[in-house]
Chain A
Amino acid sequence: MNEAYFKGALGQLEERILQLIERIPANSREMELLEQRCRDKLSEQRNLCVELRDSPVYVNPAVQAERLDLYRDLVEQLDVIESVAMTVLLRANEDDRRLNRLVTEITREVSFPLSRPVVSCSSRDYFHIYPHLNLMFVPPMESRQLLHLPDLYHELCHLILAELHDRRTDPFKQALKEIKARMFGELDTLRSRMALNRSPKRLTDQIDLWQYCWLNDWGVEFLCDLFAVFACGPAFIWAHVHLCAKRRSLIYALPNIGQFSHPADAARYRVMSEALRILGFGKDADEIDKLWQQLLGVTKETPSDEFEFCFPPAVLKWVAESSLAAYEKMGCRCVSPKSRGRVAGILDDAWREFWRDQSGYPAWENNAAKILFLSNVA
């Protein structure tokens, strides 16, 4: 790459960064964290951009590959900031602000070890989070309804597991390592057993894929579910069963083709249910289980023969048990049948009311949402 190209391209990139900085709105204190994060990241990017363009070090022909790589990094990061974070800031509205106040209250209620994320009610794809931007997305209408709000707790935990520098998150990250080690060992043992039995290659290939999924995404997703159960209680599992009922997905799905980012819903349900019982919510767990069994009865889904190899019940139980200690070591607060915070309490009440009076529920929910959002602290 010749020098003139880098001069021109980096100069143009710097201008784009400066224009983005100028467009950061001064929204409100609810969005301040994201405004500051964008400002900090864009300033860092500008500094690197200027360095790549002007520093005599980068004129050296021997470092052009690194220069190009750093330039591409800058462009990728800027793309995400512009298309994700800046879009949120430029479109922030009252729904965003009140959901941010709610998430602030949740993080205080739970004693969440990290800064709260900023939340935007502009998701086109259910609840999700960008830990590297500390930014969570919620579908527009979910901020006005209560039954799926427990999913906020699951997303919060992704921040813990993506955190690199804060040692307060170490207990949960240690739990993640232990889950991976245990499950990897279980599947290795299974592979050896299958080799002895001369099982078809297809089965041993499946084990490789299961190990890959457990090591990469599944351990993380199980821990996020558990965090949500410990912090929010039965409402999170009701929300999970509700989602499984509403959406067309296979409850016992195994990753036969390609990678699955989330473990099978049935395995997730089992881990959550174990955790709920450990917390002392046995009666609630039984109630939820009735609905779960009804759902399975209607869909007529049954697990394949391999399902319990991929998700051994004893391991799922151990995952739930061992994670509680890690959660408490982070200093986070657990719900219990006798003690629940204001937000977890209202979300729990929402599900109780849903079952008590289905026809009256929408009116009850409208009123409860007002109480939930109006009272929460900034």
Chain B
Amino acid sequence: MSDTGVPSGIFGQLSEYSLALNRVLVDLKSQPPSGRFAPAERVKDLIQRLAEPWHSELAIQSLSNALQAKSVEFDLAAMRRLQKAIATASTYSGIIADLEALARLVRSQQTGAFSRLRHPA
């Protein structure tokens, strides 16, 4: 009944999302623009679940808190643009900037979870 259960769960889940997001960004930046957007399932999951009102997934809850607090540059408008990109399977001009902002959000929560994991209250 110590304090590692939740942060370890968050850390493990965010690590999966972080890896998937970074890979999508590397692909987008490395390949010639095709206009097509077909990210890995993990990234689709992340963006779609983040839009739901209630979250059972610990990592998504942690990201949602940061979004609600409006303390991050990734905002609801960026999330809607990314949702549309997934739905239409097509990119838009600011997609890299939006994904980078989402990656920074994931990273900040991952850092928080890692810190809680290493130094439980």
Q: Are B18 and A125 in contact (CB under 8 A)?
A: no
Smallest beta-carbon distance A177→chain B, Å: 4
Tell me if A87 is interfacial: C-beta within 8 Å of chain B. no
Q: Are A162 and B65 in contact (CB under 8 A)?
A: no
Q: How far is the CA of A261 from the CA of B18 in the complex (A)?
A: 24
Stretch in contact with the other chain, from B2-10, B32-40, B71-79, B83-91: B2-10
Given contacts A58-B26, A125-B120, A164-B13, contact A69 B5 (CB under 8 A): no
Q: How far is the CA of A181 from the CA of B61 in the complex (A)?
A: 12
Q: How far is the CA of A216 from the CA of B66 in the complex (A)?
A: 12
Partner pick for A177 among B4, B15, B55, CB 8 A cutoff: B55
Tell me if A132 is interfacial: C-beta within 8 Å of chain B. yes
Given contacts A73-B18, A131-B5, A224-B5, contact A60 B30 (CB under 8 A): yes
Tell me if B93 is interfacial: C-beta within 8 Å of chain A. no
Q: How far is the CA of A176 from the CA of B58 in the complex (A)?
A: 10
Given contacts A69-B22, A69-B103, A125-B2, contact A216 B62 (CB under 8 A): yes
Q: How far is the CA of A60 from the CA of B13 in the complex (A)?
A: 28
Q: How far is the CA of A128 from the CA of B121 in the complex (A)?
A: 12
Q: How far is the CA of A206 from the CA of B110 in the complex (A)?
A: 26
Q: Are B15 and A133 in contact (CB under 8 A)?
A: no
Residues of chain B at interface, number, CB under 8 A:
37
Residues of chain A at interface, number, CB under 8 A:
51
Q: Are B22 and A180 in contact (CB under 8 A)?
A: no
For residue B64, which residue of chain A has the nearest CB? A215
Q: Are A128 and B58 in contact (CB under 8 A)?
A: no
Query: For residue A176, which residues in chain B have a CB less than 8 angstroms away from its CB?
Result: 56
Number of interchain pairs (Cβ within 8 Å): 121
Given contacts A173-B56, A176-B56, A216-B62, contact A261 B6 (CB under 8 A): yes
Interface bits A38-51 vs B (CB < 8 Å: 1, else 0): 00000000001000
For residue A261, which residue of chain B has the nearest CB? B3
Q: How far is the CA of A125 from the CA of B121 in the complex (A)?
A: 10
Tell me if B53 is interfacial: C-beta within 8 Å of chain A. yes
Q: Are B103 and A126 in contact (CB under 8 A)?
A: no
Query: For residue B18, which residues in chain A have a CB less than 8 angstroms away from its CB?
Result: 69, 73
Query: For residue A164, which residues in chain B have a CB less than 8 angstroms away from its CB?
Result: 13, 16, 57
Q: Are B8 and A174 in contact (CB under 8 A)?
A: no
For residue A83, which residue of chain B has the nearest CB? B118
Within 8 A of B (CB), among A90-138: 123, 125-133, 137
Q: A69-B107, A70-B22, A127-B2 are in contact. List 16 more A-B contacts (CB 8 A).
A: A62-B30, A66-B103, A73-B15, A73-B18, A76-B110, A80-B117, A128-B120, A129-B5, A132-B8, A132-B12, A133-B12, A158-B9, A162-B13, A162-B58, A173-B56, A176-B56
7 pairs from A and B in contact (CB 8 Å cutoff): A69-B18, A128-B1, A154-B1, A162-B13, A164-B13, A176-B56, A262-B1
